[in-house]
Amino acid sequence: MEKWQRSPNPDYGLGQRLPRRSRTRPLKTFRRSLCGALLCGTSAIVAAHLFREYSFSLYLPLGFIAVFLGATILWGRVAGIVGSVISAITFMFFLFSPVGSLAVSNAAARANLLCMVLAGFIVSYFAEPLTSVKN
């Protein structure tokens, strides 16, 4: 039989017992978020190095919205949000000039990065994950 804690305020639950909180839930959530962020970050690095010299590299961040959608569906909302921020920083550092700096000299590239991050937040907020962490 599982041990139950007493309600912190008997006026709210009339002495009703509450289940203990799981200690593994925050760790599972952190692992899931880390997996999604790593997927987004590594795929952004690979894409930046592969497509740096192509003419469509300016629009590469807009294509990454699909990656955020996949990360959100597989690993949850936090993974999509953190992945979009990490991907934006990766593209700023490795793809757009001046390379090796977080400054972006092209105004269209800055606008595309901003659209990518905003779309990543929106997609992460509205997409439903396949599995959710149960209580």
Span 48-93, pLDDT tens digits = 999 988 888 899 999 999 999 999 999 889 999 999 999 999 999 9
**Residue 16 domain-assigned (yes or no):** no
Count of structural domains within the chain: 1
Residue 19 counted as domain residue? no
Does residue 115 fall inside a structural domain? Answer: yes
Tally of CA atoms within 13 A in the half-sphere of 132 that contains its CB: 6
Euclidean distance between CA atoms 68 and 127, whole angstroms: 10
Give the list of residues 6+ apart from residue 58 with CB closer than 8 angstroms, or none. 106, 108, 109, 112
Residues above pLDDT 90, as percent of the chain: 49
pLDDT at 115: 95
Q: Is the predicted pLDDT of residue 133 greater than 80, yes or no?
A: no
Look at residue 38 in the predicted model and tell me its pLDDT.
92
pLDDT class for 135, splitting at 50, 70, 90? very low
Residue 18 falls inside a structural domain: no
- Cα dihedral sign for 79, 91, 42, 64? positive
Q: Is residue 13 part of a domain?
A: no
Name the residue with higher pLDDT: 15 or 52.
52
DSSP conformational letter for 26: H
CA 41-106-92 angle, to 5 degrees, is 15
Examine residue 116 and state whether it is found in any structural domain, yes or no.
yes
Query: Would you say residue 89 lies in a domain?
Result: yes
Question: The tokens 């639950």 sit on which residue?
Answer: 13
| Residue 3 belongs to some domain of the structure | no
Of 6 and 111, the one with more pLDDT? 111
